[in-house]
Each structure stands twice: as C-alpha cells, then as structure tokens.
C-alpha cells in the first residue's frame, strides 16, 4: 500500500469527478465535481486526489478560513470500489499530518451529519470530538487538537 496525494490537474480531473461513494453514503458528502467547483470560489481550499500507487482511490479537500481562524477538513471520500481496504484510515492520518505541516495549527475542524456513524467512528479514532456547534448547514462540528 502506497497512499499519497496529488493536486487535481487536467490529466486527473475526469477520473476524480468519476469517483463515487456507495448509494447509501451519497447524502453524506457532496460529489467531487461540486467540491471542485466550490474550490474555485476561494483560494483557501486545497483539493487533493488520493492515490494508492498509480490508482486514484479518493478525494479530499481542506483549507483555512481566515474569518473563523479555523482549519477545516471539509471533504474526505474513498471511492466505492476501494472502500473496506483500510485506505480511508491511512489517508486520514496522512491528511491530518499534511494539514498540521501546512498550517501549523492547533486544531482541525470538520462537520458531519449525525447519521454518518461510520465516518464518525473513523474520526473519533483520530481524536475528533463533537464540540457542541453546528455549521451553517446544520451539520455537527467535530474538532481534533493537534
């Protein structure tokens, strides 16, 4: 297993937007196409492609919001054809390390729908905890101290 990140570029764009989660997970996360469109609206977003060796297996997006003084892990998805292989756990660990190195932050925030129990369990393994806040969409906010 060789998990790493690359920027989204014209050569991998179509593959990235073709990635999808299981039908039962679709309400939990926006499509990668929507995420990439959203990333164009602000320089604060950092969209990345998740690779295992030469295979594209997922997508993530993170960024710093100056108005909130918070670093957000906004999107993390592993394609339905690559789930259940431990890639999500490895990608999350690498992503957290990347975020800490890039932003030198003390906390990382994310939001989650209350029904997304599998993602909640994964995030809790990495010390994310609910902080009692809701984001602008009504999702529950979790935070990890780095």
**Which residues carry out catalysis?**
123
DSSP letters, 20-76, are ---GGGGGGS--HHHHHHHHTT-TTEEEEEEEETTEEEEEEEEEEETTTTEEEEEEE
Contact 29, 75 (CB under 8 A): yes
């Amino acid at each position: 297993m060789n998990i790493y990140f690359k920027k989204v570029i014209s050569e991998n764009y179509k593959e990235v937007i073709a990635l999808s989660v299981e039908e039962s997970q679709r309400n939990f996360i926006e499509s990668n196409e929507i995420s990439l469109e959203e990333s164009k609206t602000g320089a604060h977003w950092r969209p990345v492609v998740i690779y295992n060796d030469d295979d594209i297996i997922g997508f993530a997006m993170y960024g710093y919001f100056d108005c909130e003084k918070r670093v957000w892990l906004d999107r993390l998805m592993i394609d339905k054809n690559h789930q259940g292989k431990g890639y999500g756990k490895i990608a999350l660990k690498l992503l957290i390390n990347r975020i800490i190195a890039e932003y030198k932050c003390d906390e990382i925030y994310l939001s989650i729908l209350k029904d997304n129990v599998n993602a909640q369990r994964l995030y809790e393994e990495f010390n994310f905890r609910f902080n009692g806040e809701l984001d602008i969409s009504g999702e529950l906010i979790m935070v990890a101290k780095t």
